Amino acid sequence: MDIPNIAIIMSTTRTGRFCDRPANWISDLADARDDMRTELIDLRDYPMPFFDEPASNAWVPSRDEVALRWQRKVAEFDGYIFVTAEYNRSPPAVLKNALDYAYPEWNRKPMACLGYGSVGAARSIEQLRLIAVELQMAPTRTGVHIQGGEFFEALQNGKDLNAIPYIADNAVTMLDELVWWTMALRSARI
């Protein structure tokens, strides 16, 4: 079996977002391994309207051309890493919208989360895990949370993410779990 193909989904689209830095950081860590390949996916490249379909694409094919392109992209991957902020205790609306525009493409695949913000996007990630279960995905136990003063130092002063002592170990554990679940679920889907 070939190595898993993992999408790193950049979950915000705002101007001046912080998302690019942790997305590139986790991509570099993952790409240094020999047990997965990754691709950065930017939701800016998939400007879908707020969900405006008759039903989920599990039941009715989508009509929106960008949504169809998004579904084809999501289907290419064996697993996912969501790099997310926390907006008012939840994931960014653009991410929730993107999740809603696909359904069978997510099914029986694992997902992991890297969050950032004052509490490391812990509440956003908790909601993403609940959404993932509804989409028949398997969330990893371990995530990466860039939080508190470390986050603000990185955001405002450009602190190197490699200088944050706790996140590299969490990232390795998260990636290990993601690979394990990816292989187990991919084998079961065959």
pLDDT by residue for the chain (190 residues), tens only, comes to 599 999 999 999 999 999 999 999 999 999 999 999 999 999 999 999 999 999 999 999 999 999 999 999 999 999 999 999 999 999 999 999 999 999 999 999 999 999 999 899 999 999 999 999 999 999 999 999 999 889 888 989 989 999 998 899 999 999 999 999 999 999 898 7
Q: Specify the pTM.
A: 0.96
The pLDDT assigned to 1 comes to 59
Q: Which among 177, 102, 171 is positioned nearest to 134, based on CA atoms?
A: 102
The pLDDT assigned to 175 comes to 98
Single-letter code of the amino acid located at 112: A
Q: What is the pLDDT of residues 147-165, one digit of tens each?
A: 988 988 898 998 999 999 8
**Residue 139 host element (H or E):** strand 138-139
- 3-state DSSP helix/strand/coil % of the chain, to nearest 5: 45, 20, 40
